[in-house]
Amino acid sequence: MRVAQVTPYFLPHNGGMEMYVYNLSKNLINEGHTVEVITANVPEGRSVEVMDGILVRRLKCLGEPLRNPLVPSIFLLLNELKKFDVIHIHNVYSFTALSFPILKKFCKIPIVLTHHGQLMFGEPMKDLCVRIYEKSARGVVLNSVDTAVALSDSDARQISQQNGGTAADRSPSGHPRNVVTIPNGYDDGKFRPMDTRECKEALGLPPDRKMILNVGRLYGAVKGHEYLIEAMSRIVKKRKDVLCVIVGPGRLYDTLDRQIRSLGLEEYVVLAGGKPHDEIPLWLNACDLFVLPSLSEGNPTVMFEAFGCGKPFVGTRVGGVPEIVTSDDYGLLVDPANPDDLAEKVLTALDREWDREAILACSEQYTWENITREIVGVYDQVLR
């Protein structure tokens, strides 16, 4: 099968969607399929290259309003797109997704779209633009694809509510018949248990501190970093043997650094900056607890990666997170934007003896090998 993966961003631009497309593409190739990734040339690099066996075509980007690369040259690829059996688009909130209702009329190729969660910036004007898009153009995109893949039932329900339709258009689950739920996945070859003390030593971290880890770009309030830092001001009043490490680059670095200093948390909260993705398994294995304080999520890759390393999880009840953390055997849930609740659950988690084997057992169903098989099933269905 020949599959085009069309995504606004791809590696080395780093994020959950980029890793999703990378891992899916690699596993499709491992199963004998032919894959080409078509993306924006951001950050600028070679227009065509092979990355870990994946052919990547990068299109000229004219700008990135609301983190949305504008790549009108995709309309010049009509004859190229016709050679594929399936076109798989990523992120409904993108220029590339918006272009495909037009391109499909000429390509006549089955189109699958993965909906990577609700877009939220945590900034009023930007979020208003997103809501306007949702009420206008997003439905056109979703109704033009053969199948939409939602990462969570929460997202599938949201698609259903916004797109309307009759009862005959819906499956027994209540979702539109062209919407299926397939969760995110993780690379179990990279994200696997390692010795915590050895990982702390390799990263130069103090061995006698309980390490709380967060991994996420510092690009907007939506990731909830300010609430994690606020929660740490409460946590250190109860115990001093803690260290919170936030890994990720972004424009909020200075803002968060000022917050840390204003709360006198310099000895307890560290902004580690961006790290290569290949180094993230070390950080996850070095921690005692992984925390995700987001205000909005789809089905975050790093949550599955933490589970793959056998680490307990404290996260907010947003998006697909509660659908995965269904037992307190491997994680605790908190209300978003609530530093008191977050502090309480972190303290509870740090005091508890966790069953690593139960956490690893939970993670096994989310390996990319298993997720890829489900997505190939979707491809087969649209081809039939």
The pLDDT assigned to 171 comes to 43
Is residue 228 pLDDT above 90, yes or no?
yes
Cα separation, 28 vs 372, in Å, equals 7
Is residue 375 pLDDT above 70, yes or no?
yes
Neighbours of 153 (CB within 10 A): 16
DSSP string, 262-329: HTT-TTTEEEEE---GGGHHHHHHH-SEEEE--SS-SS-HHHHHHHHTT--EEEES-TTHHHH--STT
Question: With bands split at pLDDT 50, 70 and 90, how would you rate the model's confidence at 93?
Answer: confident
Question: With bands split at pLDDT 50, 70 and 90, how would you rate the model's confidence at 163?
Answer: low
Q: Provide mean pLDDT across the span 33-46.
A: 94
Question: With bands split at pLDDT 50, 70 and 90, how would you rate the model's confidence at 99?
Answer: confident
Cα separation, 79 vs 239, in Å, equals 63
DSSP conformation class of 74: G
How far, in whole angstroms, is CA 347 from its chain's centroid? Answer: 26
The pLDDT assigned to 69 comes to 92
Question: With bands split at pLDDT 50, 70 and 90, how would you rate the model's confidence at 162?
Answer: low
In this prediction, what percent of the chain has a pLDDT beyond 70? 96
Instruction: Give Cα separations from 121 to 82, 159, 175, 274, 293 (angstroms).
Output: 35, 19, 26, 20, 14
Of 252 and 137, the structure prediction assigns the larger pLDDT to: 252
The pLDDT assigned to 177 comes to 61
The pLDDT assigned to 165 comes to 43
Cα separation, 293 vs 196, in Å, equals 23
Cα separation, 153 vs 183, in Å, equals 9
> Do 2-185+367-383 and 196-365 come out as alike in CATH topology?
yes
Residue carrying the six token digits 């089905």: 299
Q: Domain extents for the chain?
A: 2-185+367-383, 196-365
CATH code that applies to domain 2-185+367-383: 3.40.50.2000
Provide the CB-side half-sphere exposure for 332 (13 A, CA).
18
Question: With bands split at pLDDT 50, 70 and 90, how would you rate the model's confidence at 291?
Answer: very high
Cα separation, 346 vs 289, in Å, equals 8
Question: With bands split at pLDDT 50, 70 and 90, how would you rate the model's confidence at 230?
Answer: very high
The mean predicted confidence, pLDDT, of the chain is: 91
Question: With bands split at pLDDT 50, 70 and 90, how would you rate the model's confidence at 29?
Answer: very high
Q: CA nearest 223: which of 345, 113, 121, 344? A: 121
**pLDDT tens per residue across span 258-272:** 999 999 999 999 999
**pLDDT tens per residue across span 52-67:** 999 999 999 999 887 8
Is residue 196 pLDDT above 70, yes or no?
yes
CATH topology of domain 196-365: Rossmann fold (3.40.50)
- What is the pTM (predicted TM-score) of this model? 0.87
The pLDDT assigned to 224 comes to 96
Q: Helix, strand, or coil here: 10?
A: coil
The pLDDT assigned to 157 comes to 87
Contact 134, 158 (CB under 8 A): no
Neighbours of 164 (CB within 10 A): 10
Q: Provide mean pLDDT across the span 185-207.
A: 97
**pLDDT tens per residue across span 108-160:** 899 999 998 777 777 788 878 778 777 877 777 888 899 999 999 988 988 87
**pLDDT tens per residue across span 347-359:** 999 999 999 999 9
Angle subtended by helix axes 356-363 and 301-308, to nearest 10: 130
Average the pLDDT over each of 75-79, 199-203, 308-312 and give the range with the smallest value: 75-79
In this prediction, what percent of the chain has a pLDDT beyond 90? 74
Contact 95, 8 (CB under 8 A): yes
Q: Provide mean pLDDT across the span 306-328.
A: 96
Q: Provide mean pLDDT across the span 169-187.
A: 71
